[in-house]
Amino acid sequence: MTYAKRIGPRGAAGGGEVLLEPYLSGWRGLIRFLQSLGAVFSFISKDAVAKVALLEGHQQQHGFVSLQSLVQHELAAGPAALRARSDSGCRTVLRLHRALRWLQLFLEGLRSGEPRTSVLCTDAYNASLAQHHPWVVRKAATVAFCALPSRDAFLEIMNVGSQEEAVAMLGEAIPYIGDVYSITQELFTQHKLLDLP
Ligand SMILES: CCCCCCCCCCCCC/C=C/[C@@H](O)[C@H](COP(=O)(O)O)NC(=O)CCCCCCCCCCCCCCC
């Protein structure tokens, strides 16, 4: 979970750039953590792995440094062409962007002290990703959430020291996640990309 801190530089707040390298390495760290929670979550981690791999491919092919440069490059082909693509970087970032909102809400809940992580996780999911998922995915996700370890165990496996230290780390990491979320939200709103199919 030290990875959450690396998702983006705090200094980027207020319309700065989201650098692709730390963004993707942050996601890789989160995915490793998710994989360590067990096979029940593998349908989720597989989807996230595929999305990160797609973005790595685009990054390597075009040498994008930031989310902004990826969006600019894909928009240059015109909005209609972008909407028609099922492998665009933009629609893929949008999926991860919605998942980042889930993460932000979930970590805030974890920090707040509610002991039932499955309740926290379900609430965070319903307030974010769920509205974009079909019934069958929502059902599978809700079942998987029941397998989450308790808050105490969860803070322990984050492996950042005592519970107090883990909670303090969350307090530091959550604002970074919020910055990346708001910069991306602004970028996608500006270019009318928030409903990319
Ligand atoms: C700790 C528990 C982790 C629970 C993860 C919560 C997120 C639940 C997501 C459920 C997604 C189910 C899989 C299917 C997804 C796709 O259908 C769907 C749409 O994609 P499409 O438009 O290409 O078809 N994909 C998505 O919405 C993207 C989902 C990406 C999920 C990334 C989850 C990473 C979670 C990292 C957890 C780390 C917790 C760390 C806490 C210290």
Residues 67-91 have pLDDT tens digits of: 999 999 999 999 999 999 999 999 9
Residue located nearest, by CA, to atom 20 of ligand 1: 95
- Whether ligand 1 lies within 6 angstroms of the CB of 44 is answered as yes
How high is the pLDDT of residue 173? 96
From 23, 27, 44, 94, mutation site for ligand 1 pocket: most ligand atoms within 8 A of C-beta? 44
pLDDT digits (tens, 9 = 90+) for 1-36: 443 334 445 554 456 899 999 999 999 999 999 999
Tell me what pLDDT residue 10 has: 54
Ligand 1 and 196: CB distance under 6 A: no
ipTM of the prediction: 0.98
For the stretch 94-140, pLDDT in tens is: 999 999 999 999 999 999 999 999 999 999 999 999 999 999 999 99
Long-range contacts, 20-25 (Cβ 8 Å, 24+): 20/55, 20/59, 20/64, 20/65, 20/66, 20/67, 20/69, 20/70, 21/59, 21/65, 23/67, 23/180, 24/52, 24/55, 24/56, 24/59
Amino acid of residue 109 = G
Q: Which atom of ligand 1 is nearest to the CA of 144?
A: 4
Q: What is the CATH number of domain 2-190?
A: 1.10.3520.10
Ligand 1: centre distance to CA 76 (Å): 29
Q: Where are the alpha helices (DSSP H) in the chain?
A: 20-36, 42-62, 67-75, 79-84, 89-112, 117-126, 135-145, 151-157, 163-190
User: How many A from CA of 87 to the centre of ligand 1?
Assistant: 18
Distance from Cα 142 to the centre of ligand 1, integer Å: 12
